[in-house]
Structure 1
Amino acid sequence: MKKRNRSAMNRHRLQRVSKVGALWLLLCFLISGCGIQLGVEPAQGDAASPLPAGTKADGQLRVIFLDVGQGASQLLISPSGRTMLIDAGNNSEEQRMVDYLREYGVERIDIVVGTHPDADHIGGLDAVIDHYEVGAVYMPKIQANTKTFESLLQSIRDRGLKVKTAKSGLKLDWDEQVDVRLVAPVEQSDDSNNMSAVIKVAFGETSFLLTGDAERESEKAMLASGADVQADVLLVGHHGSTSSTSLSFLRKVSPKYAVIQVGENSYGHPKQEILDRLKKQNVQVYRNDRQGTIEVVSDGREIRITTER
């Protein structure tokens, strides 16, 4: 999707950014260490709910699957009120993302993760970084020769930030009560989807697996690595495409609930084959296209799910 003009300054600065060569140098400059390779309660949600309630510390973990149409974005608010934003939808969702964060009372984003360079995941991140104080930025070591990716890197540089490499085995310092670990990418790949950052978030007896667009190749690598991927809540990979959520991976995750971040699209997402697979494994499915924004709240023992509609 063509990038929207954000300001005359942005237009001029993008004209100064060269194509592949300069972009690669910029990415290397931004990525620190560039030389290195890089009991669950029944879900509630039958009725509409006023989801935003601010980022105050309330002792609970909130994982909010924002409705950004055919794209993906998750806002996490920790028990102590710290924030993490994973992806930010497409370019067309920039203002919507800024509005969402205002509604949830976000004043600072402690960690930003761009799971991979696809526009429907990172398109709105530049606007978020332009508008908010950000503590740290993580992205996998893969580039894209697109205006969307260039604009994101430029925003990161303009704010004096550096990109930290998202890769398996990395533990994120976010909230001492919540364990946040990357379980992918395990191996270097030329495929951006299979380079997706996959994040496991554990709080008490509850856990979440947030998969970006990771496909079967990445799922196989995660299983081979011996990583603990079991989770109560699964973000279904690649918007419910048949390229992801293999049966062996789904069985290993063994989720009780699944969220599919999807909007109106021409791809046929989510595929019926995946919906049938989830149903056969007795997984309760939530979808942004049908229920709007979906919020999952954990107190460390039980999970409660509310939906926008």
Structure 2
Amino acid sequence: MSKKSKLSIFLLSIVLLFIPHKPVTAMQASPEEYQQEVAASVVQQMGELKVHFLDVGQGDSMLIEAPNGKKVLIDGGRPSAGETVVQYLKNQHISSLDLVISTHPDFDHIGGLVDVLKKVHVKKVIDSGKLYYTDTYHEYMDVIHDKKLPVAIATKETNIDLGRDVSVQILNTYQEFRTNNESSIVILLQYRDTDFLLMGDVETKQEWKLLNKLPTDIEILKVAHHGSDTASSVEFLRHITPEIAILSYGRDNPFGHPVDTVIDNLHQVRATIYSTAKAGNIIISTRGQGYHIEINGKERVEYKATS
């Protein structure tokens, strides 16, 4: 065989390697089956979003682990919960937070952040902008000042980048003459087909203002104000139709949280209800389609929607 022939065969073999081809199968998949296989493949390649609802007693604290690797802590519970949050982060092998969000300055939301800001590396803080003249608030601000942490006041234009296909919208912010609770930062976190609505401690007035900004099929709702009767009207819940409702409160708390009215309203929209008081830490993970719920408490579900 001539050198020229050998070269032609070699070049032909290289070309064949790069020609797309389908494996020979006994039966060709239908278009519908092929689309399902492609969709499943895309989901497998998508990163995972995790939202942790921490058991901090009577208060709020949430951790977001984004598909792009970023870590965001929202609130830190009461001052007594600070070490609990710090230890939880250590257990998750988290030594640095890309962002800490303080939804409003009540001590059951910012108190635990003092320990977090002191003991965990934090890159940036987003604050509601609501001033509050308490010892806890001053301690929180002092730590931010002492550590020279970058601080931004939340606006509806605030950009929080958690990666491709993840949308973070701030829907409620501080305005003059609003109370602490009315000034709570409300966050709509969306990852492809899965929505998380994190309501802070807002009240019914803010719920009504949010209605035209919200989807009508929220998968996961962090119920406002620990299940207080100041929010979670049945009209609001009927609009967003949550599948899962998360309540964060302490056992035997003196406020009567959650009130029966809120539980009844959640039942009316057929939401399945979990609480940190009974379930302990609650972790919801998703790749953008469907979600998985993991809890560590003895009682898996506190209330379940009735048929």
Which TM class, normalised by the smaller chain length? 0.7 to 0.9
1:239 and 2:250 are equivalent in the alignment: no
Q: Which amino acid aligns with 2:132?
A: A
Contact 1:60–1:297 (CA under 8 A) maintained in structure 2 = yes
Q: Which runs of 5+ in 2 are unaligned?
A: 1-44, 298-307
Distance apart, 1:167 and its partner CA: 2.8
Matching residue within 234, 248, 257 for 1:261: 248
User: Which whole-Å CA distance do the structure 1 matches of 2:103 and 2:210 have between them?
Assistant: 16
1:197 and 2:172 are equivalent in the alignment: no
Q: Which runs of 5+ in 1 are unaligned?
A: 1-56
The more displaced of 229-238 and 64-73 is 229-238
Matching residue within 65, 72, 93 for 1:77: 65
Contact 1:195–1:218 (CA under 8 A) maintained in structure 2 = no
User: Which whole-Å CA distance do the structure 1 matches of 2:175 and 2:135 have between them?
Assistant: 26
Contact 1:187–1:221 (CA under 8 A) maintained in structure 2 = no
Q: Which amino acid aligns with 2:150?
A: K
User: Which whole-Å CA distance do the structure 2 matches of 1:61 and 1:95 have between them?
Assistant: 25
After TM superposition, the structure 1 = structure 2 runs for residues 36-115 of structure 1, keeping only pairs within 5 Å, are 59-115=47-103
* C-alpha RMSD of matched pairs (Å): 1.6
User: Which whole-Å CA distance do the structure 2 matches of 1:163 and 1:183 have between them?
Assistant: 19
1:234-289, Cα deviation, whole Å (9 max, x unpaired):
00000000101122221222210000001120111000110011011100000011
In structure 2, the residue corresponding to 1:212 is in which secondary structure? coil
Contact 2:128–2:174 (CA under 8 A) maintained in structure 1 = no
Question: Paired residue for 1:127?
Answer: 115
Contact 2:234–2:268 (CA under 8 A) maintained in structure 1 = no
Matching residue within 292, 297, 304 for 2:280: 292
1:203-257, Cα deviation, whole Å (9 max, x unpaired):
011010001101112112223xx32254210000000001011222212222100
Distance apart, 1:187 and its partner CA: 4.5
The more displaced of 158-167 and 264-273 is 158-167
Distance apart, 1:171 and its partner CA: 3.0
Question: Paired residue for 1:228?
Answer: 214
User: Which whole-Å CA distance do the structure 2 matches of 1:167 and 1:241 have between them?
Assistant: 26
Q: Aligned residues, how many?
A: 251
Matching residue within 271, 282, 287 for 1:283: 271
Please identify runs of 4+ aligned residues in structure 1 that moved more than 4 A. none
TM-score (norm 1): 0.78
Question: Paired residue for 1:306?
Answer: 294
Distance apart, 1:118 and its partner CA: 0.4
Question: Paired residue for 1:166?
Answer: 154
In structure 1, the residue corresponding to 2:283 is in which secondary structure? strand
Q: Which amino acid aligns with 2:247?
A: I
Q: Which amino acid aligns with 1:139?
A: D
After TM superposition, the structure 1 = structure 2 runs for residues 178-217 of structure 1, keeping only pairs within 5 Å, are 178-185=166-173, 187-217=175-205
Distance apart, 1:169 and its partner CA: 4.1
User: Which whole-Å CA distance do the structure 2 matches of 1:154 and 1:162 have between them?
Assistant: 13
Q: Which amino acid aligns with 1:293?
A: N
Contact 1:169–1:183 (CA under 8 A) maintained in structure 2 = no
Matching residue within 126, 130, 141 for 1:142: 130
Question: Paired residue for 1:19?
Answer: none
Contact 1:185–1:195 (CA under 8 A) maintained in structure 2 = yes
Residues 188, 245 of structure 1: CA spacing in aligned structure 2 closer, same or farther, 3 A cutoff? farther
Determine which structure has more spread, i.e. the larger CA radius of gyration: 2
User: Which whole-Å CA distance do the structure 1 matches of 2:101 and 2:167 have between them?
Assistant: 16
User: Which whole-Å CA distance do the structure 2 matches of 1:260 and 1:81 have between them?
Assistant: 26
The more displaced of 208-217 and 163-172 is 163-172
Q: Which amino acid aligns with 2:258?
A: P
